[in-house]
Structure 1
């Protein structure tokens, strides 16, 4: 396994594409591809060339999720190489750029931004941003849908698919089975799960956005916390994220992310106690200040994810687009328990 670091000026820092190669069979696979800009296309071509490969050599592409900074170049590479592109069935229509699926996401974005109380000028800024960045989506790909538990034989390795929704509906991790640390046929070693490619499920610096990153996810914070617990319980020794450097103590990092969400929950509860009922846009403004660009969606999305979770826990009630406290004495640890 080898990592190619790719530029990304549009979103949250450098992306990773992982190269899986088998010299005996000449099998070559990628985990994620990067965003579809000329500079990133060049980064990926150059990174492959230094390893003796071209786009035409790629047999398989595994996408952790549909976001363009992970899937943008999949269609372009497939057009050159005929590679099989794997992505979870929930995200498959968006990677294929199915018109109905894309239109449904756009309609959902317009609806929820209004529901969250986002001002019209900011909603128009988001619309303009999506039109401006339409070119970075790349060509549509013909995908092979996968699901939780799907086993893939790619790049001379056996990978198990681990569905981890929250940041996106179809986010998947890929866990190698077999190899030097987990001998083929050793079920005990396979259960231990030494390493995994985790996309944006766990990041080393930032906490992955929930609520705004994929507006299709129902109860996004709960889904994400469930995914974190599942990954922690697989006892990985190292994980390979979609951005930045590998994480050598992933369970500790997962615990930190859960604690971050517990602290954010406490902050939101304090805001509602101090200022009264509020919509997600107002809460996000108090959390993050002025928002622009993609953060116009991610900020209130994060606030919504927490408010929605508190509503389902019976801590707040939603009335007229605003969330008000029902239980003023709630302990954040009972709302977001430590599940690692």
Structure 2
């Protein structure tokens, strides 16, 4: 797979932009674009130039989700090329720079930070970070909304859209269909093999943040479990993530991430057994320690995603943001989050 590696000091490590070019044809597509910073812009321009292209030559942009390290340069490239920008319908207003959509997220984030028990000084630090990070958003793009099951013909490839929420409400993976254009409508098929672009749904080193990275999602951990199961069941031979190196055993990696979250749920139960009822910020402090920058929302957001899941499983009770054990003997394996969860 032809990829351009892009700088990224803010989030999960170096980003990938994938170049899809039609053999003997004019079609050129990008899967994700990277941050709207001078260094990343230069990385992407240089990578395209090495292949004989410029921003003006891009016909289609396929975005895995709205986060700025994946979508930041989409609007600028579209302005230079009139490229079509595809993104899930849930994330399309954000890619388009819709002020109401961003305001709704900010209101939701403020409400949750208060509910999670985040101290005022940490909330102020986060607000300052978010304001300073606005330059990373880039120019708005005119988005073409897609949904799970949408089939795209871009860069000489056929891609089937797989809605994969958890890290973001509109996160999508894109299965690369075979030479005949075969795709499977109606959902996952076990043992399919093949390859896919997976954005941040599967990462080779880190696990993507769930709960704080997109505060719009109800039951974020459950949604992410469903995504991991969907990807595992497809039994891909290899997948192409939004950061770092390709994943050669994606089913094993999906199971490993499920096991990681099972262990985190058990750790949270241990924290509540030892220290008593707590809010998400306190649990986050036990898990991650001191936080700064974007992690001020990511840390308690991750804790909340687990606490929320445990509450819905009947293991915890919550009152005014304080979670307490219902059954002190409950274990994560007994509440539907084992590594072999189906």
| Alignment TM class, shorter chain as reference | over 0.9
For the residue of structure 1 that corresponds to 2:267, the secondary structure is helix
Query: How far apart are the structure 2 equivalents of 1:86 and 1:184?
Result: 19
Partner of 1:231: 231
- Aligned runs of 1:188-207 on 2, under 5 Å? 192-207=192-207
Distance of aligned partners of 1:302 and 1:186 in 2 relative to their CA distance in 1, 3 Å threshold: closer
Normalization by structure 1: what TM-score?
0.97
Query: How far apart are the structure 1 equivalents of 2:317 and 2:127?
Result: 30
Query: How far apart are the structure 2 equivalents of 1:186 and 1:292?
Result: 44
Partner of 1:339: 341
Query: How far apart are the structure 2 equivalents of 1:103 and 1:185?
Result: 41
Query: How far apart are the structure 2 equivalents of 1:271 and 1:324?
Result: 11
Normalization by structure 2: what TM-score?
0.96
Deviation at 1:274, TM superposition (A): 0.5
Contact 2:57–2:81 (8 Å) recurs in 1 = yes
Deviation at 1:184, TM superposition (A): 3.9
Partner of 1:144: 144
Partner of 2:113: 113
Query: How far apart are the structure 1 equivalents of 2:341 and 2:323?
Result: 27
Query: How far apart are the structure 2 equivalents of 1:240 and 1:315?
Result: 37
Query: How far apart are the structure 1 equivalents of 2:119 and 2:193?
Result: 46
Runs (4 or more) in structure 1 with deviation over 3 Å come to: 183-187
Distance of aligned partners of 1:50 and 1:145 in 2 relative to their CA distance in 1, 3 Å threshold: same
- The farther-off stretch of 68-77 and 319-328 is 319-328
Contact 2:158–2:181 (8 Å) recurs in 1 = no
Deviation at 1:10, TM superposition (A): 1.6
Q: Structure 1, residues 65-120: CA drift from partner, whole Å, max 9, x if none? A: 00000000000000000000000000111111101101001111111101100000
Distance of aligned partners of 1:246 and 1:121 in 2 relative to their CA distance in 1, 3 Å threshold: same
Q: Which runs of 5+ in 2 are unaligned?
A: none
Paired residues, what number? Answer: 336
Q: Which runs of 5+ in 1 are unaligned?
A: none
Partner of 1:210: 210
Partner of 1:305: 305
Partner of 1:168: 168
Deviation at 1:186, TM superposition (A): 8.4
Deviation at 1:36, TM superposition (A): 0.4
